[in-house]
Structure 1
Amino acid sequence: MTTTSTVRHSLDDLLTQFINDLGATAAAGNIVLGDRLGLYRGLDEAGPLTSAELATYAGSSERYVREWLRGQAAGGLVSYEPETDQFWLTEPQALALADPNGLQLAGAFQLALACFADLPAIEDAFRTGKGFAWGEHHPDVFTGCERFYRPGYVANLVGEWIPAITGLDDRLTAGVTVADLGCGLGSSTRILAQTYPASKIVGFDNHPGSIELARRMTLEAGLADRCTYQVAPAQDLPGDGYGLVTTFDCLHDMGDPLGAARRVRDALAPEGVWMIVEPFAGTSVADNLTPVGRIYYSLSSFLCVPHALSEGAPDAWGNQAGEEPVADLVEQAGFGGFQRVAETPFNIVYEARP
């Protein structure tokens, strides 16, 4: 029997979580505004500042900035000194919110808000079971997603993940042809191109809008002579003889992952390797009932499952599928070797060899 004290304790816990969740939800738009208006950057470059000083520095209205700063300080995203009524960013706060080469956490909130913009369409998909393709989403989904994943790729791809696959760094340094499948806006493609100039890097994605943005960002980065892009679905990957094929956080989004895996197998050179990077997930639902799992399941219901269903998936994986379906897929596609080679709190990296 459940006692009154137990119910009260559970309700108190739930209300505490509710307050934290509602606070984060309400703050999301303010985080995106702070990013777009340069308010975090202003605090980092010129702080400590009063609201009037920051408003002048950033070219914004003082009354709005005053309210914004107080909400940010209440959430611990900026720091506050009561005696001077000034605000500033600590080094970790700046790394997370102001540094263009930092963690880019505002991008995650940009992605979440863009999901909310598609709420009517996703509600209809819930009711009908039909899909909603990636390219149908609000444009901030594409740019927010790129900002959400890029810091992890910057931190881990070259320094940790590639060295974890025996001989891969040497082969990329010597020069091979690489297919970056589901490249999106091309963050991973550009990292590979910048690091391995002797290799030919080609990014593929079935969303023309993402490929257009990838080309533009690559031109701005001065890497257009090192990597190119094509619109193509994974199961129709053009070319063959690839020394490396990569899929970064996208295999679970595909309507026909087995078709894609078989095409990758056929397109690889005999000594080639398929690097599969997927969101971190355990082997069971219970393993994934964590703060990270919560983020991923929530994004998956708006992004991953709808897109896979839009491509005809009979039962979409979702982004918390875990290792077992990946291993089964690789085996069914005819690969001779498969293993987990690396992981972070957000990703698991596998290698598959012909």
Structure 2
Amino acid sequence: MATSADVTPGGAMDEERVQQFLEQVISDSAAAVAGLCTSLGDRLGLYAAMAGAGPLTSAQLADRTGLAERYVREWLAAQVAGEYVDYAPGTDTYVLPDEHAAVLADQDAPTYAAGFFTLLQALYATEDALMTAFRTGEGVGWEEHGPALFAGTAKFFRPGYAAALVPEWLTALDGVVEKLERGALVADVGCGYGYSTTLMAQAFPRSRFRGFDFHRPSVEAAREIVAEQGLGDRVSFDVATAQDFPGEGFDLITFFDCLHDIGDPGGALHHAEEALADDGTCMLVEPNVSEHAEENTNPIGRAITASSVAVCLPSALAQHGPQALGNHAGEEAMREIADEAGLHHWRLAAETPVNRVYAVGR
């Protein structure tokens, strides 16, 4: 916010401050365009082909990937400009440093982040729909986005879940791991492609897991994934909303990064309370951002709050429910909703730079 200190006598602007902000915006625009190159590098396997390969010419990389050398050479130039890839002019070769490969090339690494860029095609494609939503106050439903949103969301969240879900988050819930080891019944609400569901199922073969999502294409993708992994004996996926998913007596009900996308989060938690076993637990995984705008002035806060503008808030508004939280409503607001739903016990159980994990029960 501008103050009197930012303005020179006579009302003239601080030109140095203007230039500094201009550089910031140009840097942001460069990152926005370069994001397309990052997505291409991820989806075409360019980063994976460079990982651990040492110095490569553009022709060698084209041979490794089966791509057109001229395009590969142009892509490499952009990667060098962004300091993603190192270039040796004397040998005309390019290297993807191991440290960069850990972020861009290995989809199983907890540091893998390139999956986020898959989302870009879906987000930019709905700009016109968002403009209409801004003017009317209506929503833009999850299902109105392109397939890249669904695949990209699953791809982005999977590494973090794989790294923390079983060894850290579940162990932070009182008595839950013991139940899962003996054999428990679990509902994964808003499961998407089901990566969270299958990660739990792989770790706890005596338990049974049911994934629910209102988005049929995601449920179908989840069914294919679970069949490929051979987990059909203990995992199933069904189309259902958070307010009407079937079943009861669940020892654990999970909401992974989805409660804020629901138009009636109170109704979802009320239904979960009714479906829980007597000593059951709800686990809510939500973005690690603040309800106070000034506390989100960091890269993670910026990415998450921008995602709320593009996806989370419009998705909730499209459901015409009583509440549209956005993804940074804050812990207190969610705790009040849970309490009104009959879930009176609330505890921050675990935390990562991206997520906060709450243990919730009666």
User: Shorter-chain TM-score category?
Assistant: over 0.9
Paired with 2:314 and 2:162, the residues of 1 have a C-alpha distance of 28
Matched, 1:80 2:83: no
Match of 1:122 among 120, 123, 130: 130
> What RMSD in Å do the two structures reach over aligned CA positions?
1.5
Q: Conserved in 1, the CA contact under 8 Å of 2:42 and 2:114?
A: yes
- Aligned residues with identical type, % of pairs: 45
Amino acid at match of 1:76: E
SS in 2 for 1:130: coil
Corresponding residue number in structure 2 for 1:304: 312
Corresponding residue number in structure 2 for 1:67: 74
Match of 1:49 among 46, 56, 60: 56
Structure 2 length normalisation: TM-score? 0.94
Corresponding residue number in structure 2 for 1:153: 161
- Give 4+ residue runs of structure 1 displaced > 6 Å after superposition: none
Match of 2:99 among 74, 92, 104: 92
Corresponding residue number in structure 2 for 1:3: 8
Corresponding residue number in structure 2 for 1:320: 328
Shift of 1:6: 7.6
Moved more, 321-330 or 27-36: 27-36
Aligned pair count?
354
Structure 1 length normalisation: TM-score? 0.96
Q: Conserved in 2, the CA contact under 8 Å of 1:111 and 1:140?
A: yes
Amino acid at match of 1:159: P
Q: Conserved in 1, the CA contact under 8 Å of 2:265 and 2:323?
A: no
Q: Deviations over 1:11-58 (max 9, x none)?
A: 232122112211111111111111222211211153310111111221
Corresponding residue number in structure 1 for 2:353: 345
Q: Deviations over 1:71-129 (max 9, x none)?
A: 10111212222221111211121111111312442210111221111212122111211
Corresponding residue number in structure 2 for 1:133: 141
Corresponding residue number in structure 1 for 2:19: 12
Q: Which runs of 5+ in 1 are unaligned?
A: none
Shift of 1:315: 4.3
Matched, 1:184 2:192: yes
Match of 1:23 among 20, 26, 30: 30
Moved more, 103-112 or 89-98: 103-112
Match of 2:43 among 33, 36, 39: 36
Amino acid at match of 2:35: A
SS in 2 for 1:84: coil
SS in 2 for 1:300: helix
Corresponding residue number in structure 2 for 1:264: 272
Corresponding residue number in structure 1 for 2:256: 248
Amino acid at match of 2:100: Q
Shift of 1:8: 2.5
Corresponding residue number in structure 2 for 1:101: 108
Amino acid at match of 1:282: S
Corresponding residue number in structure 2 for 1:229: 237
C-alpha spacing 1:170/1:310, structure 2 compared with 1 (3 Å): same
Paired with 2:361 and 2:290, the residues of 1 have a C-alpha distance of 23
Amino acid at match of 1:214: A
Paired with 2:89 and 2:344, the residues of 1 have a C-alpha distance of 64
SS in 2 for 1:202: strand
C-alpha spacing 1:186/1:50, structure 2 compared with 1 (3 Å): same
Paired with 1:95 and 1:273, the residues of 2 have a C-alpha distance of 35
Amino acid at match of 1:281: V
Q: Deviations over 1:112-157 (max 9, x none)?
A: 2211112121221112111111111100000000011111111111
Q: Conserved in 2, the CA contact under 8 Å of 1:283 and 1:324?
A: no
Shift of 1:302: 1.4
SS in 2 for 1:230: strand
Paired with 1:55 and 1:109, the residues of 2 have a C-alpha distance of 22
Paired with 1:76 and 1:186, the residues of 2 have a C-alpha distance of 35
Q: Conserved in 1, the CA contact under 8 Å of 2:223 and 2:237?
A: yes
